[in-house]
Amino acid sequence: MNVASPIPHKKARIEIIPLIDIMFFLLASFMMVSLSQVHMKGIKVNLPTGQSGEVQSKRDYISVSVNKDGIPFFDKEEFTYEKLLPKLQQVYKENPDAKVFVRGDAETVHGNIIRVLDICRAAGFYKISFEIKSEAAKNIPGSAH
């Protein structure tokens, strides 16, 4: 004898729409996190130490440094603040995509670094990185930190 159940039997369905919504949410979250990360990274100066940092490539690399006495350097050549702007403008005309790394001695006055930053911006460079001594890079053999 076959007795019918009072509970209706429905076939199980896999709902894929909520799964797609979750995947889009995760994708958007990872994209926003990766875009918000800032990666930091030329005469011998006593660089300030930072907890984070990474090694950058040296291709199309310009180093502008300020020693503890406030004297600016372009790569390893000593400059005055007045002569630094024309030099950077010349480099910008030759290669506007060059990376500019500003290095400041830990003992220099903050105003010297801001002055160099203003000169770099006046020359046309707006993608400027500050070079630091990275605690993480100390353990990597052969890394420039």
Residue 145 has pLDDT above 50, yes or no: no
pLDDT at 73: 87
- Residues 63, 47: contact at Cβ < 8 Å? no
Question: Is there a domain that residue 8 lies in?
Answer: no
The dihedrals phi and psi of 62, each to the nearest 5 degrees, come to -120, 130
Q: Which domain holds residue 122?
A: 49-139
Q: Is residue 36 part of a domain?
A: no
Any domain includes 24:
no
- The chain-wide mean pLDDT, for the chain, equals 77
CA distances from 2 to 5, 6, 10, 58 (A): 10, 13, 19, 81
40 within some domain: no
Sign of CA dihedral 114, 144, 60, 30: negative
**Domain contains 100:** yes
Q: Among 8-22, 32-46, 89-103, where is mean pLDDT lowest?
A: 32-46
Average pLDDT of the segment spanning 21-35 = 89
* pLDDT for 40: 43
Please report, for the domain that includes residue 70, its CATH number.
3.30.420.270
Q: Based on the structure, what is the number of domains in the chain?
A: 1
Interval 30-79: pLDDT, tens: 888 887 765 443 455 555 555 555 554 445 678 888 888 888 888 878 88
